Amino acid sequence: MNLTGNTMLITGGGSGIGQGLAEAFHRRGNTVIIAGRRQRALDEVTDANPGMKSVQLDVNDAESIRTVTAQVFRDFPALNVLVNNAGIMRTESVRDLPEMLKVAEETIVTNLLGPIRLTNAVLTHFHEQAQQNPQARAAVLNVTSGLAYVPLANTATYGATKAALHSYSQSLGTLLRGTTTQVIELIPPLVATELTPGQSANPRALPLGEYIEETMRLLAEHPEASEIVIERVKFQRHAERENRHEAAFRVINQLD
């Protein structure tokens, strides 16, 4: 993936990792369109970054995805990168089963079905670009999590959706082999954002700026990579292959 000269749609771009990625790519001269449900949050980011654009998009709503992506294709025909970043992380407890099911269903729609729907929407556009210009390059970046590899028990569905998004990314990359579209999985560790209440103040969380800086550096150093694994998340990403998954699970869930 080239880090300059792109036209990029980044979901969840009004805060957290999405905002950090949007600003980093914007500084490199890309045309960046951030998407999210909260217009005020989007406006705050675009006001602070002159030239950045925004669209209001609900990734939980299939019709919103259809209409908004169609509008983006009309307004930004050069769109060639999608960053599936929008996501929610909620705690779950078997002490409240009806609420647990509601949380699970909402998490699956936002974290998994939304990215799949968006990806399918943009792939048609990317294929049309490739037919017009065989030298065109496109990319889909899926933001997963270290919890896809070693889960946190009280966010069971979050971890499951991120594991599924990892699997989807791996398979999609294979399906698109030989085309002009690259699939890249970004794997954050615990990062200091407000993904969950108070997470930004968690002393164990990696500062957002450090995560973005290392991710951008690795993208630059490995333009053909299918995964971007920063140093902090290797503990989870490589636990299975290093035969220490059970020990890592106990550490993540503070079972010792």
d(CA 1, CA 120): 19
d(CA 126, CA 28): 22
Residue 158 falls in the annotated catalytic set:
yes
CA atoms within 13 A on the CB side of 11: 30
Q: What is the dihedral of CA 27, 141, 123, 159, to 10 degrees?
A: -140
Name residue 224's amino acid: E
Residues 6+ apart with CB under 8 A from 167: none
Name residue 102's amino acid: K
What is residue 207's DSSP assignment? Answer: P
Q: Which of 149, 158, 168, 211 is catalytic?
A: 158
Total count of residues recorded for the chain: 256
What are the backbone angles phi and psi of residue 83, rounded to the nearest 5°?
-115, 110
3-state secondary structure at position 215: helix
31 and 9 Cβ atoms separated by less than 8 Å: no
CB neighbours (10 Å) of residue 221? 9
Q: Which positions are catalytic?
A: 158
